């Protein structure tokens, strides 16, 4: 599966989708066209049963520089009475894209190859895991330096990774976090060299996606909600999900394989 577009590249390798933000001339800054293409690419990954996991990365030297400054300028030049509604509509598209990434029922890894700022950091945090290229990767929630607040889910995702106080400090200052500190803070989960980043990310994604597709999707959906739910609610959702797993082909095949192996051992005695 290969999708050539103006700002998103999508290909698969042995069951792993590799989605590349491809506007290197502007450090992969996100404009309206990229938002739409990102949504379409994520939908393709979601529908493709041969894809078991996904890696998100950036082309060139940056992961993602956040929102496109030229789009911000155009927004400010709109008639005063239209700015708020236009901004709201753009926010809706952004939130839909981030939600589609966060809720994708397959393991996702952000392979951060360079600088990620603003919306770029939020895209990385929306993934299940982050692997950072050392020394090139960096993370900055620099919205405040533009007179803005994190609008790509950063105020939701970041506290869950680093804790509330650290998230406030990073958002209030907009300071840059390098790869080694990102590991210490919990922003990133693994480090890699620039040369090995994509290979290691793809291998890790393949490992994460090797289990039951049904079980992984259901478990991820519940885990994504677990901070907001009471224990009884998690148990309830788990009971429903387990009932579905009982009927899955993966569960049946696993049980039959185990019983066949046990019978073979008994017969060999």
Q: CA-to-CA distance for 259 and 139, rounded, in angstroms?
A: 49
- At 173 the pLDDT is 97
> Does the domain spanning 213-268 belong to CATH 1.10.12?
yes
Residue 75 has pLDDT above 70, yes or no: no
Work out the pLDDT band at 88, boundaries 50, 70, 90: low
Residue 17 has pLDDT above 60, yes or no: yes
Q: Which residues contact 107 (CB under 8 A, 6 or more apart)?
A: 52, 53, 54, 128, 129, 205, 208, 209, 216, 220
- At 82 the pLDDT is 65
Same fold, 3-208 and 213-268: no
% of residues, the chain, pLDDT over 70: 91
Residue 70 has pLDDT above 70, yes or no: no
SS3 assignment for 237-249: HHHHHHHHHHCCH
- At 74 the pLDDT is 59
- At 72 the pLDDT is 58
Q: Are 66 and 117 in contact (CB under 8 A)?
A: yes
- At 266 the pLDDT is 75
- At 89 the pLDDT is 74
- At 268 the pLDDT is 74
**pLDDT, mean of residues 51-79:** 82
Pairing of strands 16-21, 8-13: antiparallel
* Domain residue ranges in the chain: 3-208, 213-268
- 93-148: per-residue pLDDT in tens? 889 999 999 999 999 999 999 999 999 999 999 999 999 999 999 999 999 998 99
- At 38 the pLDDT is 96
Work out the pLDDT band at 77, boundaries 50, 70, 90: low
- 226-265: per-residue pLDDT in tens? 999 999 999 999 999 999 999 999 999 999 999 998 888 7
- 151-209: per-residue pLDDT in tens? 889 999 999 999 999 999 999 999 999 999 999 999 999 999 999 999 999 999 999 99
Q: CA-to-CA distance for 91 and 14, rounded, in angstroms?
A: 35
Which CATH superfamily includes the segment(s) 3-208? Answer: 2-enoyl-CoA Hydratase; Chain A, domain 1 (3.90.226.10)
Residue 267 has pLDDT above 90, yes or no: no
- At 53 the pLDDT is 98
Residue 69 has pLDDT above 70, yes or no: no
Q: To the nearest whole number, what is the mean pLDDT of the chain? A: 92
Work out the pLDDT band at 91, boundaries 50, 70, 90: confident
């Amino acid at each position: 599966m290969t999708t050539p577009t103006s700002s998103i590249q999508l290909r698969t390798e042995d069951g792993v989708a590799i989605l590349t933000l491809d506007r290197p001339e502007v450090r992969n800054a996100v404009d309206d066209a990229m938002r739409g293409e990102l949504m379409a690419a994520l939908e393709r990954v979601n529908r493709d049963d041969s894809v078991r996991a996904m890696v998100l990365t950036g082309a060139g030297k940056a992961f993602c520089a956040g929102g496109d400054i030229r789009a911000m300028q155009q927004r400010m030049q709109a008639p005063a009475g239209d700015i708020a509604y236009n901004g709201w509509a753009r926010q809706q598209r952004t939130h839909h894209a981030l939600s589609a990434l966060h809720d994708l029922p397959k393991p996702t890894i952000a392979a951060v190859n360079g600088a990620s700022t603003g919306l770029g950091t939020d895209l990385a945090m929306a993934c299940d895991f982050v692997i950072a290229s050392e020394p090139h990767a960096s993370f900055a929630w620099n919205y405040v330096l533009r007179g803005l607040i994190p609008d790509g889910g950063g105020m939701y995702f970041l506290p869950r990774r680093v804790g509330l106080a650290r998230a406030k400090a990073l958002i209030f200052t907009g300071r840059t976090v390098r790869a080694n500190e990102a590991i210490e803070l919990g922003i990133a989960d693994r480090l890699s060299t620039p040369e090995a980043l994509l290979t290691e990310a793809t291998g890790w994604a393949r490992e994460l996606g090797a289990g039951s597709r049904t079980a992984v999707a259901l478990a991820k959906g519940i885990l994504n909600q677990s901070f907001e739910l009471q224990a009884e609610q998690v148990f309830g959702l788990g009971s429903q999900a387990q009932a579905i797993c009982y009927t899955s082909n993966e569960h049946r095949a696993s049980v039959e394989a185990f019983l066949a192996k046990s019978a073979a051992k008994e017969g060999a005695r």
